[in-house]
Amino acid sequence: MVPNPPSSAEPNSYESAEQVLSAVDDAGRGLRVVFERRGDRFAHRVELCVGGRSQLLLRSIEGDDSELWPPSPPLQQLSVEERADGDVALLVGMAGKSHWSASIAVERAARRIVY
């Protein structure tokens, strides 16, 4: 099982192996996004959770720093802000002259994750 991020009212930057945004209710149903550090970037996957079990729905396809044009944007920094209605993640990264960003929000009450 993947641990939940530490709680804090301040935004957090993560350098550990995995971090989770969870839109799972008390019955264990919903979605979660798992961020995993791979080399110089974060990969992520979306999982469906039902009754304490999770099933992979989507997974990013990552390249590495040797590729001229990676298959996914190299998102290299992850910051998570905890909010009352659900956590928000901001990811940023760059390669050469290109820059990328992504934001992912959790709507806990609706068990929804919004990219």
One-letter amino acid identity for 110? A
For the sheet with 41-50, list strands across it. 18-24, 30-38, 41-50, 53-59
For residues 24 and 113, give the distance between their C-alpha atoms in angstroms, rounded to a whole number: 10
User: For residue range 80-92, what is the model confidence (pLDDT) as tens digits?
Assistant: 999 988 999 999 9
Residue-range domain boundaries for the chain: 15-62+72-114
Predicted TM-score (pTM) of this structure: 0.79
For residues 17 and 36, give the distance between their C-alpha atoms in angstroms, rounded to a whole number: 5
pLDDT surpassing 60 at residue 13? no
User: For residue range 53-77, what is the model confidence (pLDDT) as tens digits?
Assistant: 999 999 999 988 788 788 889 999 9
Q: Which residue has the higher pLDDT, 1 or 103?
A: 103
DSSP labels, 29-88: -EEEEEEEEETTEEEEEEEEEETTEEEEEEE-----TT-SS-SS----EEEEE--TT--E
For residues 108 and 78, give the distance between their C-alpha atoms in angstroms, rounded to a whole number: 20
